[in-house]
Amino acid sequence: MAIPEPAGRRGRRLTHLVLRLLAAAGLAVDALVHVRIADQYDAVGDSITQGTLFRAEAAVASLAVVLVLLWRHRSGDVFAWAVAASGLGALLLYRYVDVGALGPLPNMHEPVWFGDKTFAAWAEGVATAALTVLLLDSLRRRI
């Protein structure tokens, strides 16, 4: 016969599961959007194109999904948080600021909102928020 868990621990486990699913869903949407639109941006840039950067974002977001769902370790959560937060940060930066080209990186300024960009921003925001709560809880339990 299994020993029942205290209600607090069960609640925390359920909360962590929901947060992990939200983070994974947000990162999966991020990956899908970037891989879906990458070919539209292959002409933007010289040595490194914006399409190439979008494919790289899709790859690291996909890895982050696997880490969040299967590895469930703090370092994987930190990696996934960095992917989601940097994706959202880059999206907002290039939406509102014309940074220009940075070395081999193309000028990715695009001052308009459209469906895929909005969808990716929301997904990255949800993933970042969910992972922030998971990481803060793991720090709180460590102290």
d(Cα 127, Cα 77) in Å, to the nearest integer?
10
Tokens 């370790």 belong to residue: 73
Within 10 angstroms of residue 8's Cβ, the number of other Cβ atoms is: 8
Whether the full predicted model's pTM is greater than 0.85, yes or no, is yes
Tokens 């979008």 belong to residue: 54
Report the chain's C-alpha Rg in angstroms.
18
Contact 26, 130 (CB under 8 A): yes
The ranges assigned to domains in the chain are 12-142
d(Cα 51, Cα 122) in Å, to the nearest integer?
21
Nearest to 122 by CA among 19, 16, 15, 29: 29
Contact 20, 134 (CB under 8 A): yes
d(Cα 75, Cα 139) in Å, to the nearest integer?
12
Residue numbers in the chain where pLDDT is lower than 50:
1-5
Residues 6+ positions from 71 with CB-CB distance below 8 Å: none
Tokens 């890895």 belong to residue: 63
CA 77 to chain centre: 11
Nearest to 25 by CA among 123, 122, 120: 123
What pLDDT is attached to residue 7? 55
